[in-house]
């Protein structure tokens, strides 16, 4: 725990800025992926496959923290698009080896080029001495949030009322 309570104004600023950043990230992501002919979810999956190389569906689902059913369908789409290969594993016929096809690899490179160019320009537009600080801050924030999530206890106001549905 820190030594001093953060002032309310600071808390509000954090909320607001995270919300802004969230929106901007979503926008840039949809820009970058849509132009490469894949949707955002497909893009995330492609990049994850590139990084892990030949994984099973369950592993990918765990890595992306998505339901296996969701991933199954996304893989379907990418297989249909010819970007991803899917084959039953040799030693375990339950599992599937999911990997990038040659076309998929090309596409991932294309996505990487686009994203790298964008974020490179972005960093370039920032004062040089602030770049590392920004990376540092992002990493600290994400890590703290991750710990909180695992630790649970994000209880809420006692308003268990649900929408009429």
Which option in DNA, a second copy, none does residue 96 bind, with CB closer than 5 to 8 A by kind?
Answer: DNA
Give the nearer residue to DNA in terms of CB position, either 2 or 164: 164
Q: How far, in whole angstroms, is CA 165 from its chain's centroid? A: 30
| Near a second copy by CB under 8 A: residue from 62, 70, 102, 131 | 131
Which option in a second copy, DNA, none does residue 54 bind, with CB closer than 5 to 8 A by kind?
Answer: none
Q: Tell me which DSSP letter residue 20 carries.
A: H
Give the nearer residue to DNA in terms of CB position, either 24 or 136: 24
**Minimum distance from residue 114 beta carbon to DNA (Å):** 16
73 contacts DNA (rule: CB under 7 A): yes
Alpha carbon separation from 12 to 7, 17, 60 (Å, rounded): 9, 9, 35
Decide: helix, strand or coil at residue 161.
Answer: coil
**Minimum distance from residue 55 beta carbon to DNA (Å):** 8
Which option in DNA, a second copy, none does residue 125 bind, with CB closer than 5 to 8 A by kind?
Answer: a second copy
The C-alpha angle 62, 65, 69, rounded to 5 degrees, equals 80
Q: How far apart are CA 135 and CA 21, in angstroms?
A: 14
| Near DNA by CB under 7 A: residue from 20, 24, 51, 67 | 67
First-residue to last-residue Cα distance in the chain: 40
In contact, 68 and 57? CB cutoff 8 Å: yes
Q: How far apart are CA 11 and CA 8, in angstroms?
A: 5
62 contacts a second copy (rule: CB under 8 A): no
Q: How far apart are CA 32 and CA 4, in angstroms?
A: 41
Binding mask 47-66 for DNA (x = CB under 7 A): ---------xxxx-x---xx
- Count of residues that interact with DNA, criterion CB under 7 A: 30
Binding site residues, DNA, CB under 7 A: 39-42, 56-59, 61, 65-77, 86, 92-96, 163, 165
């Amino acid at each position: 725990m820190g030594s001093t309570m953060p002032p309310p104004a600071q808390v509000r600023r954090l909320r607001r800025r995270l919300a802004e950043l969230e929106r901007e990230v979503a926008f840039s992501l949809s820009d970058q992926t849509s132009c490469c002919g894949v949707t955002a979810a497909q893009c995330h999956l492609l990049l994850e496959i590139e990084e892990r190389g030949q994984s099973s569906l369950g592993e990918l689902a765990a890595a992306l923290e998505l339901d296996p059913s969701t991933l199954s369908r996304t893989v379907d789409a990418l297989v249909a698009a010819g970007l991803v290969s899917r084959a039953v594993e040799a030693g375990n016929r339950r599992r599937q080896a999911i990997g990038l096809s040659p076309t998929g690899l090309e596409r991932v490179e294309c996505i990487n080029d686009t994203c790298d160019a964008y974020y490179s320009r972005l960093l370039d537009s920032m004062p040089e001495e602030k770049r590392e600080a920004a990376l540092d801050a992002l990493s600290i924030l994400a890590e703290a949030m991750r710990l909180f999530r695992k630790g649970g206890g994000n209880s809420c106001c006692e308003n268990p009322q649900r929408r009429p549905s």
